[in-house]
Structure 1
Amino acid sequence: MLELVIDNTNSTAALTNEGWRARGRCRDLVGTLTPLFFSENFYEIARAKAICAACPVVSECFDAAKARHEPWGVWGGELFENGRVCRDKRPRGRPPRSGHPQLVIEEVPLPPDLARA
């Protein structure tokens, strides 16, 4: 479906196949947010997903990315890698095999000259 999208900032009009894109929170008309949605950094991916969380067209964006087999990036609040949704993205590094070590903190006695009688 063709939809007329009017850009009030530049006083231009354009026909697009996906008029929902103009209503997305990620659309800032200058592309400053684009690197955030295509980053490999764990925290930037989380920021991009947070922007999508309050977006009014999140479902349309996700459906369109899935239909296009989008190779990578955050689309519709989900991370795509190799054309598939990647549910969990972890920061670099491997978790320990035996779990996290237990920290044992023992109380350190006060020196005798500081102890009150």
Structure 2
Amino acid sequence: MQSSPPQEPQWSPAVTAQRSPRDLAGPWHSEAACRRDEAGLFFAPSQEPTAARLSREQAAKSVCARCPVLLECREHALVQPEPYGVWGGLTAAERRVVLSRRRRREAAASGGRSPDISRIA
């Protein structure tokens, strides 16, 4: 009787992950429009005058507006949270407003209850 070589066990995940072509090509930031621009456009120099800051931020936002990964970038900056610079077309101050609104919405959705920490473990 001839024995056959052992076979690799057949394994398949319970849930098939949906992967976009962007996932297969690399991280989202590899496609960011800003990777070709000066970082100084997206991050303020120290003691920048208000008019210069507003002009620089507007220029950065115009780069963001044509970016194919704008939403991924924005979400990254909100989740991290990134404390400085223009990310996903939003300044740090604008991101703080978005985060504050999210927290209020989440609190309203949970009925104003604080999470039960004893259940988290």
Q: What TM-score, normalized by structure 1, do the two folds share?
A: 0.52
Which fold has the larger relative contact order, with Cα–Cα distance below 8 Å and residues 6 or more apart in sequence?
2
Once the two structures are superposed, residues 35-69 of structure 1 have per-residue CA deviations (whole angstroms, 9 ceiling, x without a partner) of: 11012511011000000001000000000100001
Unaligned stretches of 5+ in structure 1? 6-18, 87-117
Q: Which is higher, the Rg of structure 1 or of structure 2?
A: 1
SS of alignment partner, residue 85 of structure 2: strand
**1:38/1:74 contact within 8 Å kept:** yes
**1:24/1:57 contact within 8 Å kept:** yes
Please point out which of 42, 55, 76 is paired with 1:64. 76
Q: What TM-score, normalized by structure 2, do the two folds share?
A: 0.50
Which residue identity is paired with 2:85?
G
SS of alignment partner, residue 70 of structure 1: coil
Distance 1:42 1:79 in 2: 10
Runs of 4+ in structure 1 over 3 Å off: 1-5
Identical positions, percent: 37
Q: Which has the higher helix share?
A: 2
Distance 1:83 1:67 in 2: 10
Counterpart in 2 of 1:51?
Answer: 63
Would you say how many aligned residue pairs link Structure 1 and Structure 2?
Answer: 70
